[in-house]
Chain A
Amino acid sequence: MFRLLNAHSTGYDERLRRCATARVRQVHVAVARLASISSRAALCALSTVTLVSAAPIAANLGRAATPAEIRAWDIDVRPDFKGLPPGSGSVSKGQDVWEAKCESCHGAFGESNEVFTPVIGHTTAADIKTGHVAALRGETVPQRTTLMKLSQLSTLWDYINRAMPWNAPKTLTTDEVYAVTAFILNLGDIVPADFVLSDKNIAETQNKLPNRNGITLKHGMWNVGDKPDAQGSGCMKDCKKAAAIISRMPDYARNAHGNLAEQNRIVGAIRGADTSRSAATELALLTKGASSGNGSMANASSSERRGETAAAANAANTAPLKLAQKHACTACHGVNNKLIGPSFTDIHNKYGANSATTLAAKIKAGGSGIWGSIAMPPQAHVPEPEIKAIAEWLAAGKF
């Protein structure tokens, strides 16, 4: 390894080269005692992690990777399409895969904004000509879609291949990945409905991406040693006339992150603000508390609340919630908040206390159309007693 580093060090960071040379010399010193290390090597050793020592991995650790092992893991596809396996897929086949495996999260037309941000939208025929998505320059589009940002087609293929579908990654065949990629491009009006994407035509298809020219490497945040683009002022005194507040939290958002009194330590120089009360109310209570010597309102109310939390925890049976977490129910259902599906509380309120059997059947069979457009897939793989436990818990409503 020393030989190799030394031989190829030309053109590298000067410090690295010097240290590598020093290390080679060090190895050549016959009986290398610590004290005999050249001063240059010692200096290097102090300067960075790299140069701490001469990579003492002489022990034969690790073993050669077999070709089959490399094939199994080396699946990445680069922007020049190196690594792309041969294959092909049509838009229509892609639509079949999409409807079966992608639509529930991304919507029928890739437009859904319910689970993830939209895949499709806000690219135009003019963008396809220029390779710059015009909507990225304006303020009109609230959310950037995948196709607005996509500059490299390899990225889309590689990501679908390695990470989709979200709950069962790496289960699509190579041809299905081509097909889904083709279908997405067709939804974005980039390729026609009879298009077949393949390893043969993917490079020319790249040249139709609406945002293919939309990226830049001109910035100082990539290569070590490059310069930052925004420099602050070092002024210490009378730096401005006045500090004008230009943005603050709106009152309606005061408690949006939960009660901040419960998110701070109960001792010390400060307490968390009780955001369950309005700022004005809290001020009044604080003032009253201080004058009557009753202590901090924030403190008192936070201990009260801890008591309530403890009481609630005793009443609720937490085992079914653990089951719901184990079976990823909580990926789509919150206890009190709507996620993709309704909250457990909403389900309880709708179906009531005598609904355990109904709910168990619904969990097992799945369903759609009651709470919104996103269907709940069947959960028949969950063992019957566990479905029953979750259903009874939902019916009881003690979360």
Chain B
Amino acid sequence: MTLPRDDRRSFLRKAFLAASAASVAASAPRAFAQMSAEGDPAILNLPAHTKGLGQPVAARPYGLPSKYEENLQRRESPGLTRVGAAGVSFAPLQGFFGIITPSGLHFERHHQGWWDIDPAQHRFMINGLVKNPKVYTMDDLMRMPSVSRMHFIECGANTGMEWGNVAVPTVQYTHGMLSCCEFTGVPLKWLLDDCGIDLKKAKFVLAEGADGSSMTRTINLANALDDVMVAYGMNGEMLRPENGYPLRLVVPGVQGVSWVKYLRRIEVGDMPYAAKDETLHYVDLMPDGQHRQYTSIQELKSVITSPSGGQVLLDKGFFNVTGIAWSGRGKIRKVDVSVDGGKNWRTARLETPLLDKCLTRFNIDWTWDGKDAILQSRATDSTGHIQPSSMDLRKVRGTRSIYHNNAVQSWLVSANGEVSNVQVA
């Protein structure tokens, strides 16, 4: 959604005025707190980097973030899991810009530990209801025509700790089992065609990993023939080991557990497989005691990433409220933002690109008056679905589920500037 030029100019002017007003109003804008009568020592005293020789090229042959960025790390939520090899690390969404997740900060979820597998020894097999069961090497797969697509991946249990009440403090822990990358690989359909899939009998495919858990997941044939891909590339390089090097399944719009890592096999079949993570986990407990099985699609969701829980606003005045929205059913059409806990809403600006089953970044200007405020975002997708509140969701699904919580998130900005995670009615 781009603003007409005049609107944009007027917006920028307003934003600038708001920002200047804030710096006048505040007692001491914090960035200039070190000012002396003469001026800012950061300007007056030329620093070492201005008066010396810097590092040579390739001093770090594989680049690393600045040492000043070390606070943004993948982190575990204490007490969530008891063994690291069957654990989760959350991506620091509070610090991200745009929609692409840096590869080193992609969230992790392992069921039986991760491996760094020799790609020369990795094999991919297709069998089952196909005319010609085949084996491919990585050389074969990477020699094939490829496609590159940007998609979000979200764990089905993302925000799962918050079904009944507030449980964790920041957006890293509420929503950080979410990442978005550009994936490169071969559409699964091409490979199924290459093996001569029996489309008269086939209804599902089973994806299986090569690691100890040999994770299996059932994928609908409609998905498999649409946009599912067998991917080796992520953000311009090979997949990271923690994300399935050298091969993983990419199932756009579907929960992360189906994106089988270390992918070794696809079996074409005619019934769902009821794998461990389809019968005992990733099932949604309903108020009547029944479990919904094969709940796979990650529904429409959005969250404000800044200001967000655990942050402190430095001053009153202008803030760019920013966040992300996504839907497993299509594109983001609109995001509304409230600063009064859902009484009134304004429509945010969506940043391009607006892609299918991909994160969309939104921004909206806000002038904080120093009083309590409750920030919320609410997305609408291309199917017309509007993101539910936690009350809307609980009415249908109760509070004892773990999975697929796509409720509107609320952040309370207190008068002291501190932002905290709250739920509102």
Interface residues of A (CB under 8 A from B): 1, 4-5, 8-9, 12-13, 16, 48-50, 52-53, 55-57, 59, 61-65, 69-70, 73-76, 78-80, 114-116, 132-134, 136-137, 139, 144, 146, 149-152, 154-155, 158-159, 162-163, 166, 169-170, 214-224, 226, 228-249, 253-254, 256-258, 260, 262-273, 275, 279, 282-283, 286-287, 290-291, 293-296, 298-299, 302, 306, 328, 330-332, 337, 339-340
Contacts and interface: CB of A to CB of B under 8 A. Distances in A.
Interface residues of B, number: 150
Contacts, number: 394
A279 B416 contact: yes
A78 B274 contact: yes
Given A215-B293, A232-B388, A299-B30, A155 B71 contact: no
B422 to A, nearest CB: 5
B310 A263 contact: yes
Contact of A217 (B165, B197, B222, B294): B294
Contacts of B189: 50, 55
B72 interface: yes
Given A263-B94, A279-B416, A249 B312 contact: no
Interface string B54-85: 00000000000000111111010110001111
B340 A221 contact: no
Interface stretch (B42-50, B98-106, B138-146, B238-246): B138-146
Given A226-B297, A256-B78, A272-B312, 9 more contacts: A62-B137, A64-B132, A158-B216, A222-B296, A241-B343, A243-B342, A249-B166, A263-B172, A331-B84
Contact of A74 (B223, B267, B293, B408): B267
Given A214-B290, A249-B166, A263-B172, A237 B279 contact: no
A247 B274 contact: no
Contacts of A224: 220, 222-223, 226, 297
Contact of B193 (A49, A57, A166, A283): A57
B343 A239 contact: yes
Contacts of B13: none
B306 A270 contact: yes
A62 B194 contact: yes
B404 interface: yes
A63 B392 CA distance: 52
A61 B166 contact: no
Contact of B291 (A16, A151, A290, A306): A151
B271 A219 contact: no
Given A222-B297, A271-B314, A295-B34, A279 B418 contact: yes
